[in-house]
Amino acid sequence: MNMLLDNQRLITERQQRAWSQSQLAEISGLSLRTIQRIEKNGNASLESAKSLASVYNLKITDLRIVEFDEVNLPENNQPVMVNFCFLSLTAKILTTTVFILSTLVFLFMLWTNIPPVAWINELRDVIFSEQLSVYTLKIISSILTMISTLALAIFVGILFDAFRNQGFYHYMKCLILSGSLSLPRYSANLQLSILKYGEFLAKPLIISSLIILVAGAGVYLSMEDYQKKNMASFLQNFLSDHKPEIS
């Protein structure tokens, strides 16, 4: 009997233990080629799934991905268990990258008074009083910008998973079909979680930095004179506001 396992979780579980694929093969009793194949496409036999679940101290249902036809045809009326996953690992990297890039671009446009993002200030004035200090209004506008870009980034991530039948889309599809799914499972090991998110954030930060360096030069060269003046004025005001006082 073959089944589809969550290959992203298998890779994460192995990396959290700092094991190589060869070490995992020795510990689990499976061949290196089998480990590589399972981590690549998730296809595994029942025996291989049992071995991996035993090594990671998990149940097979923790690793298994329920297929569409399996949800349609449940056996012996038992609830179908699918692990909650809002976004797949790839979608999380994509979402974080989009969020970082779009936030920096929108904040730059906001702070240099470029017209396309004027709606943010208009929305701020509708919700909050215009009698607040200029500094407070700028903070509110920045927060509204980040909320907007976060919503955009999450939408991109969910849409990406929808094309791949993973993450929140897959969970909701199974929820509609089966009506009974497992609750989210959270790791109790705070240290591992911090390390995992640190490694996760590294990729989108590096990608964003490279794109910003390339795009920033291109944007500056194509800016109008008034935009360059606005940017220079913003940088001058920013540096003067944060200049340390000499007593």
Domains in the chain: boundaries: 2-65, 89-165+186-241
- Residue 58 CA, chain-centre distance (Å), reads 24
What does the pLDDT read at residue 247?
45
Which residue spans within 8-72 are E strands per DSSP?
Answer: 43-45
Predicted structure pTM score = 0.43
Bridge-based pairing of strands 43-45 and 2-4 is: antiparallel
Mean pLDDT by 10 residues, the chain (247 residues): 80 88 90 90 86 88 60 42 63 86 84 74 74 78 86 85 72 59 48 62 71 72 75 72 51
Instruction: State the DSSP code for 63.
Output: H
Say which residues have a Cβ less than 8 Å from residue 162's Cβ, sequence separation at least 6: 169
Task: State the CATH class of domain 2-65.
Answer: mainly alpha
The Cβ-side half-sphere exposure at 123, using a 13 Å CA radius, reads 13
